[in-house]
């Protein structure tokens, strides 16, 4: 999510939601054979706490306790599902009113617990679904939703949906994508600016303008058929002000600052460094963690144990229901850090090979590395978060390509950023990216320079870590000169009626767009089968003559990468690289498909990236 929301969202007037007191049970089901076998069911109905709820006898299932809060409209049922329990349906009832509801226990997918999360072998393709492709025009406007379709407005809903993503799966497979990260598709029933998805008003249901839960599950199934996993964007820190919780809080302490924004007085400071700062005041820590982003996004109090349990169960429920291969966590460090430790631990205990990446928007790797699993922190904090996002490298690459070369400018910024990898316990599990949905596109940041953009993308797709690419980068989508998020999240060519260009078919694309598409597709498809780019060691060299060079080395393969910023072709002496290049070795040029024998020099075209592949196993 964005560090600072658009002005449109800041000024949006949020009315309190209309409350329905029809019986609501969350989660709607659970599974037998789960590591998390003790769960808490939240039941919402008017004056439900006055009911004496009982569980009908069911072999292997026990109702441990019923928790009531200061709000009589909620009860929390804590149950244990033992290994003896079989799939079936639990029945809860009240002896006073004969009220009853059913709670299904389902069988798990085969080998569900052993699912493989996304890894450094993958490329995640980030999509804003509303701006990608409109696969079902019938759901563009839904009467029950507060905001209707408005495709001509930057901050409006443009009609893209889950069906549009499903329709694009063959294109994404051919491009070389192996994982999909969609910005949140859960219900965002807000009066305006709801398309971005981060103001969730129902944590268990897909927004009907995006599709349905079953269609989201279908996306997961169909994507896997194409060799593509599905990563869910989750929000733990805040929710949408139109959620039922704003008018009918489950407990008084459910929302930080007593559920009040107070005209910005209780806004977050965004001072993320207070979490690690050994000298930070409790006041500053609280202002960062408990403060709200904006009035329309109330801040959740994860220190509330029932809420903590709710959020943990919700994550596991979606993993199991939709067969996810990963989670991206929005605004990671803004949540309570003790809760984050428990939340990540519970998920990783359930799915040991799963992956979760947290958004910690900082260019300081000392702060980002604090959150990665395995880090020995000075304050004793223990995290189970496998992956973090590398904002440091993103910033360094943009600076390097826009600056002249000197002893402290240009490529040295990239070298210094990667030299800080000693701070991370697992450098292969860091997510690298050129841009995302909250920042100007890489092509824009690099002055609409195709050559620089190709260099940037080659670097991000060949360096260490997990690669993430923003939709449309392959066809040079651009938000020049605007910084508005509505322009950054531009409609994908070919995804909507009336467009003259179609990236899915290539129709109407410029020569430059087609060349960029070819470059990206070449890199992504090479990544799929490259052991060196997956697990290979990174050895890089200090920049020389405007060239940054490095090698990715595995037992089977060595990949050499040269980034030449010079405006003329350079015959580069590479004797300094002999520790990674055996003499007279044959190498294949990834982009020209020509084989050459590597001697003491290599010819590097002007303003370009050169990728040479040495298959050492032959």
Whether 126 and 172 have beta carbons less than 8 Å apart is answered as no
In a domain, 100, yes or no: yes
CATH number at residue 42: 2.60.40.10
Q: What's residue 100's pLDDT?
A: 87
Residue 142 inside a domain? The answer is no
For residue 414, which of 547, 223, 302, 611 has the smallest C-alpha distance? 547
Domain boundary residue, one of 96, 113, 130: 113
pLDDT tens digit sequence for 371-411: 999 999 999 999 999 999 999 999 999 999 999 999 999 99
The pLDDT value recorded for residue 94 is: 85
Taking only the tens place, the pLDDT of each residue in 156-188 is 999 999 999 999 999 999 999 999 999 999 999
How confident is residue 584, by pLDDT bands cut at 50, 70 and 90?
confident
Q: Helix and strand tally (H, E) in the chain?
A: 16, 26
pLDDT tens string 514-529: 999 999 999 999 999 9
The residue from 113, 143, 176 where one domain ends is 113
- Tokens standing for residue 331: 């605004």
pLDDT tens for 446-505 read 999 999 999 999 999 999 999 999 999 999 999 999 999 999 999 999 999 999 999 999
How far are the Cα atoms of 452, 463, 536, 605 from residue 397, in angstroms, in the given order? 10, 12, 21, 20
What range does the domain containing 559 cover?
535-615
CA gap 299, 334 in Å, rounded: 9
- The verdict on residue 88 lying in a domain is yes
pLDDT exceeds 90 at position 425? yes
Backbone angles phi, psi at 45, to 5 degrees: -165, 150
Task: Return the higher-pLDDT residue of 585 and 479.
Answer: 479
Q: Answer whether residue 436 is part of any domain.
A: no
Tokens at residue 3, please?
């560090």
Residue where a domain stops, chosen among 98, 113, 128: 113
Domain count, the chain: 2
Residue-wise pLDDT for 220-263, tens only, equals 999 999 999 999 999 999 999 999 999 999 999 999 999 999 98
Within a domain: residue 47?
Answer: yes
pLDDT of residue 618: 56
- Share of residues in the chain with pLDDT > 90 (%): 94
Kind plus residue range of the DSSP H or E element containing 558 = strand 557-564
Cα separations in angstroms, 70 against 44, 53, 248, 301 = 13, 18, 11, 16
On the question of pLDDT at 611 being above 90, the answer is yes
Pairing state between β 61-68 and 38-44? unpaired
Q: Active-site residue numbers?
A: 330, 359
Is residue 86 pLDDT above 70, yes or no?
A: yes
Spatial neighbors of 57 by CB under 8 A, at least 6 apart, are: none
Sign of CA dihedral 427, 433, 434, 436: negative
User: Would residue 584 count as lying in a domain?
Assistant: yes
Q: Cα–Cα distance between 434 and 412 in angstroms, integer?
A: 17
Instruction: Please answer whether residues 584 and 574 qualify as being in contact, where contact means their C-beta atoms are separated by less than 8 angstroms.
Output: no
Q: Is the pLDDT of residue 11 over 90?
A: no
Domain membership of residue 466 (yes or no) is: no
Q: Is residue 211 part of a domain?
A: no
The neighbour count for residue 511, using CB atoms within 10 Å, is 8
| CA–CA distance, 74 with 25 (Å, rounded to integer) | 10
pLDDT in tens, 290-324: 999 999 999 999 999 999 999 999 999 999 999 99
Question: Which pLDDT score, from 0 to 100, does residue 65 have?
Answer: 97
Q: Name the band, by pLDDT with cuts 50, 70 and 90, for residue 99.
A: confident
**Per-residue pLDDT at 1:** 52
Residue 562 backbone dihedrals phi, psi, to 5 degrees: -125, 125
pLDDT of residue 20: 67
Q: Which residues contact 381 (CB under 8 A, 6 or more apart)?
A: 337, 341, 370
CA distance 251 to 18: 18
> How far, in Å, CA of 265 to CA of 81, rounded?
45
3-state secondary structure labels for all residues of 200-246: CCEEEEECCCCCCHHHHHHHHHHHHHCCCEEEEEEECCECCCCCHHH
> What CATH number is associated with residue 586?
2.60.40.1180
pLDDT at 22: 80
8 Å CB contact between 516 and 482: no
């Amino acid at each position: 999510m964005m560090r600072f929301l658009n002005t449109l969202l800041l000024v949006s007037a949020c009315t309190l939601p209309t409350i329905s007191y029809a019986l609501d049970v969350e989660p709607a089901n659970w599974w037998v054979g789960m590591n998390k076998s003790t769960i808490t069911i939240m039941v919402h109905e008017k004056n439900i706490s006055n009911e004496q709820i009982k569980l009908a006898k069911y072999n292997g299932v026990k109702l441990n306790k019923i928790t009531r809060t200061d709000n009589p409209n909620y009860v929390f049922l804590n149950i244990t599902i033992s290994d003896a329990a079989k799939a079936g349906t639990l029945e809860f009832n009240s002896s006073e009113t004969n009220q009853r509801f059913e709670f299904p226990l389902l069988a798990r997918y085969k080998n569900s617990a052993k699912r493989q999360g996304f890894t450094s072998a993958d490329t995640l393709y980030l999509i804003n679904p509303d701006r990608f492709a409109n696969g079902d025009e019938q759901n563009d406007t839904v009467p029950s939703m507060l905001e209707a379709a408005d495709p001509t407005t930057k901050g409006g809903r443009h009609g893209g949906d889950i069906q549009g993503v499903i329709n694009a799966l063959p294109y994404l497979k051919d491009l070389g994508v192996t994982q999909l990260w969609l910005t949140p598709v859960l219900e965002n029933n807000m009066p305006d600016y709801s398309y971005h998805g981060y103001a969730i008003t129902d944590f268990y249901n897909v927004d009907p303008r995006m599709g349905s839960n079953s269609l989201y599950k279908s996306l997961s199934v169909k994507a896997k058929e194409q060799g593509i996993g599905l990563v869910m964007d989750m929000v733990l820190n805040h929710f949408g002000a139109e959620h039922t919780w704003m008018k009918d809080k489950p407990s008084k302490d459910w929302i930080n600052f007593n559920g009040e924004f107070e005209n910005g007085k209780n806004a977050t400071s965004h001072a993320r460094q207070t979490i690690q700062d050994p000298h930070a005041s409790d006041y500053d820590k609280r202002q960062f963690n408990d403060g709200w982003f904006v009035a329309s996004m109330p801040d959740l109090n994860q220190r509330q144990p029932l809420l903590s349990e709710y959020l943990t169960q919700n994550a596991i429920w979606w993993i199991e229901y939709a067969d996810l291969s990963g989670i991206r966590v929005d605004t990671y460090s803004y949540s309570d850090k003790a809760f984050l430790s428990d939340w990540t631990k519970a998920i990783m205990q359930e799915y040991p090979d799963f992956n979760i990446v947290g958004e910690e928007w900082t260019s300081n790797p000392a702060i980002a590395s604090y959150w990665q699993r395995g880090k020995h922190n000075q304050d004793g904090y223990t995290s189970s978060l496998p992956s973090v996002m590398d904002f440091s490298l993103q910033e360094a690459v943009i600076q390097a390509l826009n600056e002249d070369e000197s002893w402290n400018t240009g490529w040295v910024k990239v070298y210094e950023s990667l030299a800080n990898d000693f701070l991370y316990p697992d450098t292969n599990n860091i997510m690298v990216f050129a841009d995302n949905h909250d920042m100007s596109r890489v092509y824009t940041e690099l002055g609409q320079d195709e050559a620089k953009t190709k260099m940037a993308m080659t670097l991000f797709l060949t360096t260490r870590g997990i690669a993430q690419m923003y939709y449309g980068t392959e066809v040079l989508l651009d938000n020049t000169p605007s910084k508005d998020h509505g322009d950054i999240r531009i409609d994908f060519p070919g995804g909507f009626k009336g467009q003259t260009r179609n990236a899915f078919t290539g129709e109407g694309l410029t020569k430059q767009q087609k060349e960029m598409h070819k470059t990206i597709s070449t890199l992504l498809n090479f990544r799929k089968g490259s052991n060196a780019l997956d697990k290979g060691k990174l050895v890089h060299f200090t920049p020389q003559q405007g060239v940054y060079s490095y090698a990715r080395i595995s037992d089977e393969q060595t990949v050499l990468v040269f980034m030449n910023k010079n405006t003329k072709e350079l015959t580069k002496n590479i004797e300094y690289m002999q520790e990674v290049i055996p003499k007279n070795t044959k190498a294949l040029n990834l982009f020209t498909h020509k084989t050459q024998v590597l001697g003491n020099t290599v010819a590097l075209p002007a303003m370009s990236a050169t990728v040479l592949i040495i298959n050492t196993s032959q």
